[in-house]
Chain A
Amino acid sequence: MNDLTKCFLKESNFATRSILGETILVPIKGGVGDLNSIYVLNELGTHIWEMMDGKSSLNRIIEEICSAYDVGPEQAEKDTLEFVNSLEVSGMIRSIPRTV
């Protein structure tokens, strides 16, 4: 089970672009992601991506998603964890040690 007190930080090897209302993650260094693929985030994904600031814990992000999208805590936790896992697997974020 995920530790919901963990925080995450964006890796610097991806640039975030906002084009015609779409948030796009573009790999910028060799050996990272697939340069032939472009990662496109939906609105929820964009919201979570913006909170990958090294300070917001998963608990905090789930709370924020509950309040912003009017969803229950279970659904918000499921959606958030699924998305955060996919970001971590793709090498776009890394967890950082808890400060408290």
Chain B
Amino acid sequence: MKAYSYSDFSLGLHRKMLDQRFPVQGTIEVTYRCPMKCVHCYNNLPIGDQQAQREELTFEEHCRIVDEIAKAGCLWLLYTGGEIFVRKDFLEVYTYAKKKGFLITLFTNGIFISPEVADYLKEWPPFSIEITLYGYTQETYESITGLPGSYERCLRGIRLLKERGLPLKLKTVVLSLNHHEIWKIKEFAEEQLGLDFRLDAMVNPRLNGAKSPLEVRLRPEEIVELDRLDPKRMSEWRRFSKKFAGPVHSSGLGETLYQCGGGNHTFSIRPDGGLTVCALSSAESFNLRKSSFQQGWEEFLLKIREKKVTKRTRCISCEIKAICGMCPANGMLENKDPEGPIDFLCRVAHLRAKALDLSIKPHGTCDYCKG
């Protein structure tokens, strides 16, 4: 018997998967409901939304789907929301999946973590648990969440999980509302709490098409400045751009539209059982209430995965796509066009290339190359 370290095992499995389509990693959104009203969130619905609650999969349906994805070979499973603990039966759903041998990550805002929940998670530990800390101060935190008292409850959740030695990580989304506190949040997480921390400044329109989250999105210059001020991020972008830059990794006309792992190694399931290529790509779905995961993976997601690039856009010959957030899901959310370039992302990618000293070859009529 060999006991591999996690990283060796993961690397070996990913190498084995390179040439085959295999659903090794899944996301399940158990609910869209959340007591917080975060201004930037792409999917949250009010905690008392009865229609949303009625549409959610039942415990029995979760069990059936988890059985099916285990059979299909899924190993890494992310439970997210909304807020996962809004569902009173979430720990039952989670434990059922735990017993099946998934490596489970939980995304939560942390406000429902009581001593009892923390003790339970200590007994049935997740592979990883991530909490988003929206501010260093209560004022900033609650200006984003819109829920009085949520700051203290979040800190309590962090403390309870940390005291029990659970594999906790913190993260934040950088918005115009908390931009001024970002480095304090990072210092608090890494130096005072000794936890892993990451930040992300990318914000999407809501799944229903509403653009309200974009009102608190940073300007492109501010996003790239965050990279510049963080040597670790800069070195990661540099490594990534060296590995993936170049036309060979760009989607050409007639080539496969999806270049990510969606529908190839990953999948996502909505609260109502809709199977999608990713959580952001909700426009097309396959109803797992009526049909099996196997059918959804082998027919529906394969069809999406085989979609081709049909338009000659400036993305086609762009060699800095590796450092750009453009993808069909983002295109649909922002422009209702999976292939149409998103001006905001073009601007970020070009500024980032400049910060990394990458030369950009001409790629059609591009307004951003001029500047």
A20 interfacial contact with B, CB 8 Å: yes
Q: Which of A29, A45, A90: most chain B CB closer than 10 A?
A: A29
Please tell me if the beta carbons of B103 and A26 are within 8 angstroms of each other in the complex.
yes
Q: Which residues in chain A, 62-97, are within 8 Å of chain B measured between CB atoms?
A: 83, 86-87, 90
| Chain B positions within 8 Å of A41 at CB level | 1-2
Inter-chain CA distance A76–B333, complex, in Å, is 60
Q: How many inter-chain residue pairs (CB < 8 Å) link A and B?
A: 71
A15 interfacial contact with B, CB 8 Å: yes
| Chain A nearest Cβ from B10, distance in angstroms | 8
A36 interfacial contact with B, CB 8 Å: yes
A42 interfacial contact with B, CB 8 Å: yes
Stretch at the interface among B107-115, B120-128, B220-228: B120-128
Please tell me if the beta carbons of B1 and A39 are within 8 angstroms of each other in the complex.
yes
Please tell me if the beta carbons of A38 and B70 are within 8 angstroms of each other in the complex.
no
Inter-chain CA distance A34–B16, complex, in Å, is 24
A99 interfacial contact with B, CB 8 Å: no
| Chain A nearest Cβ from B41, distance in angstroms | 31
Size band of the interface chain A makes with B: 20 to 34
Inter-chain CA distance A17–B20, complex, in Å, is 19
Given contacts A20-B16, A28-B98, contact A37 B123 (CB under 8 A): no
Please tell me if the beta carbons of B103 and A40 are within 8 angstroms of each other in the complex.
no
Please tell me if the beta carbons of B6 and A30 are within 8 angstroms of each other in the complex.
no
Given contacts A17-B75, A28-B101, contact A40 B125 (CB under 8 A): no
Inter-chain CA distance A38–B4, complex, in Å, is 5
Please tell me if the beta carbons of B3 and A37 are within 8 angstroms of each other in the complex.
yes
A1 interfacial contact with B, CB 8 Å: no
User: Hey, which bits of chain A sit against chain B, CB under 8 A?
Assistant: 14-20, 22, 24, 26, 28-30, 34-42, 45, 83, 86-87, 90
Closest 5 CB pairs of A and B: A15-B101, A26-B101, A38-B9, A17-B101, A37-B3
User: Hey, which bits of chain B sit against chain A, CB under 8 A?
Assistant: 1-6, 9, 13, 16-17, 20, 22, 24, 70, 73, 75, 98-103, 122-125, 127, 167
**Listed A/B pairs (22) with beta-carbon separation below 8 Å:** A15-B100, A16-B101, A17-B100, A18-B73, A19-B24, A19-B73, A20-B13, A20-B17, A24-B9, A24-B75, A26-B102, A26-B103, A28-B98, A28-B101, A28-B124, A29-B123, A30-B124, A34-B3, A35-B127, A37-B4, A40-B4, A41-B2
